[in-house]
């Protein structure tokens, strides 16, 4: 009985908080019919936003995968002074507001900031241009790969790596052939988490983007612009697209974790 009540409560909550809004997004998107919704994608600014989002996501994932693997490996394998502080620092982006994540870059690269004026003079503006968006997105999604990888690396232990050393493997060979494949499901999971977050990031990107339609607007920013421009159908169609992209990623992640769970590869 208690189980029934709790299950119902959970269903109700998830229904109200998660499912209903997503359903409403699609209801709004198709409120004037499929053709009107699809017309959204005829707008070059919309296509540009999609393209920018995809590029930023791919790059963010690539960068954070490399950094995340390095960080997770270093932190799970070696004991060194300041290790604890480093773990806290890596998690910092999880705890600070994304707006702060954007503002810090503005402080560094804005023309009022440290290097911004010089960079702009050389023709490489960082802020209000894709590189700034990349920096902000990388900052916000920095912890995910490290945080999913580290526990698995610690759980997998050192024996496999020790065995590889004794068989003559070097550092890179160990990382590439032993450590990473041993944690590949966690890695994939972290990568997908990064992907989902990078696609949807609004706050940090909003600060550094300048909201220039067709140039520096990612999908979330473009949704806001459309909504503020009273283009409700287009706004919700883009939101629906983003929701579908996110759901695909989350589904992939769930499948991977289920597979991993079945094989006992994730503790």
Partner 1 sequence: MVTKTRLTRRGLLQATLAGGAALALRPTRAWAATGLLNVSYDPTRELYQDIDRSFSRFWAEGHGGAPVQIRTSHGGSGAQARSVLEGAPADIVTLGLAYDIDILAQNGLLATNWQTRLPHNSTPFTSTIVFLVRKGNPKNIHDWPDLIRDGVQVITPNPKTSGGARWNYLAAWGWALNQPGGSADSARAYLKKLFTHVPVLDTGARGATNSFVQRGLGDVLLAWEDEALLATREIGPDQFDIVVPPVTILAEPPVAVVDRNAQAHGTTEIAQAYVQYLFSDAGQKIGAKHYFRPVTPAILAENRDRFPAVHTFDIASLGGWTKVQKEHFADGGIFDSIYTK
Partner 2 sequence: MSVHLDHIIRVSPQNGRPIVNDVSLTVEDGSFTALVGPSGAGKTSLLRVIAGLDGHQGGTVSIDGARVDNVNARDRNIGFVFQHYALFAHMTVAANIGFGLSIRPRRSRPGRAEIERRVAELLELMQLSGMGSRYPHELSGGQRQRVALARALATEPRVLLLDEPFGALDPVVRRQIRGWLRDLHERLGLTTILVTHDRQEATELADTIALMRHGRVVQTGTAQQLEDTPADPFVMEFTGDVIRIPGRIDRGLFVADMPDIRAFAANAADGRGEVLIRPADIRLLPDAGSAMAWLRQTRGMIGTYDFTTGTQTLRFETVIPAGAAPIIVNCALDISAGRIAQGDGWIERQETGVAQPATPQSTGP
Kindly tell me which of 6 and 114 has the beta carbon lying closer to partner 1.
114
Kindly tell me which of 21 and 162 has the beta carbon lying closer to partner 2.
162
Rounded CA Rg of the chain: 22
Three-class DSSP category at 249: helix
Kindly tell me which of 96 and 265 has the beta carbon lying closer to partner 2.
265
Q: Does 123 bind partner 1 (CB under 8 A)?
A: yes
Could you tell me the CA-to-CA distances from 135 to 145, 194, 209, 232, 233 in Å, in that order? 16, 14, 11, 30, 31
Three-class DSSP category at 180: helix
Size of site (CB under 8 A) for partner 1: 35
Q: How far is the CB of 63 from partner 1 (least distance, A)?
A: 8
CB 152 within 8 A of CB 186: yes
Using CB under 8 A, which of 120, 155, 252, 265 touches partner 1? 120
72 binds, among partner 1, partner 2, none (CB under 5 to 8 A by kind): none
Can you tell me the distance from the alpha carbon of 90 to that of 139, in angstroms, rounded to the nearest whole number?
10
Could you tell me the CA-to-CA distances from 118 to 106, 112, 114, 122, 209 in Å, in that order? 14, 11, 9, 6, 19
Helices (H) and strands (E) in the chain, counts: 15, 0
182 binds, among partner 1, partner 2, none (CB under 5 to 8 A by kind): partner 2
Can you tell me the distance from the alpha carbon of 68 to that of 85, in angstroms, rounded to the nearest whole number?
16
DSSP state for residue 32 in the 8-state scheme: T
Query: Which residues of the shown chain bind partner 2 in the complex (CB under 8 A)?
Result: 79, 159-160, 162-170, 173, 177-178, 181-182, 184, 263, 265
The piece of 12-20, 27-35, 160-168, 213-221 that touches partner 1 (CB under 8 A) is: 213-221
Kindly tell me which of 113 and 160 has the beta carbon lying closer to partner 1.
113
* Tokens linked to 18: 């998660």
Can you tell me the distance from the alpha carbon of 10 to that of 200, in angstroms, rounded to the nearest whole number?
25
250 binds, among partner 2, partner 1, none (CB under 5 to 8 A by kind): none
Kindly tell me which of 48 and 189 has the beta carbon lying closer to partner 2.
189
Kindly tell me which of 184 and 211 has the beta carbon lying closer to partner 2.
184
Q: How far is the CB of 69 from partner 2 (least distance, A)?
A: 16
List residues binding partner 1 (CB under 8 A).
55-56, 58-59, 62, 106, 109-113, 116, 120, 123-125, 127-131, 134, 176-177, 210-215, 225, 227-230
């Amino acid at each position: 009985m208690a189980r029934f009540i709790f299950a119902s409560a959970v269903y109700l909550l998830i229904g109200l908080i998660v499912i209903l809004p997503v359903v409403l997004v699609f209801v709004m998107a198709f409120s004037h019919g499929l053709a009107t919704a699809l017309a959204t994608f005829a707008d070059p600014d919309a296509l540009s936003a999609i393209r920018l989002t995809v590029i930023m996501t791919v790059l963010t994932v690539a960068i954070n995968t490399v950094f995340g693997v390095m960080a997770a490996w270093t932190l799970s394998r070696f004991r060194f002074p300041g290790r604890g502080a480093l773990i806290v620092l890596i998690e910092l982006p999880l705890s600070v507001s994304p707006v702060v994540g954007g503002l810090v870059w503005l402080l560094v690269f804005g023309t009022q900031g440290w290097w911004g004026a010089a960079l702009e003079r050389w023709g490489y503006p960082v802020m209000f241009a894709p590189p700034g968006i990349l920096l902000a997105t990388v900052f916000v999604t920095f912890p995910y790969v490290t945080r999913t990888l580290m526990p698995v690396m610690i759980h997998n232990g050192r024996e496999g790596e020790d065995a590889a050393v004794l068989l003559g493997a070097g550092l890179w060979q160990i990382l590439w052939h032993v450590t990473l494949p041993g944690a590949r499901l966690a890695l994939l999971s972290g990568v997908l988490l990064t992907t989902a977050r990078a696609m949807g990031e609004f706050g940090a990107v909003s600060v550094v983007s300048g909201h220039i339609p067709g140039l520096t607007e990612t999908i979330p920013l473009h949704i806001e612009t459309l909504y503020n421009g009273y283009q409700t159908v287009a706004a919700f169609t883009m939101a629906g697209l983003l929701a579908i992209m996110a759901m695909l990623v989350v589904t992939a992640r769930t499948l991977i974790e289920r597979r991993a769970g079945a094989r006992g590869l994730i503790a």
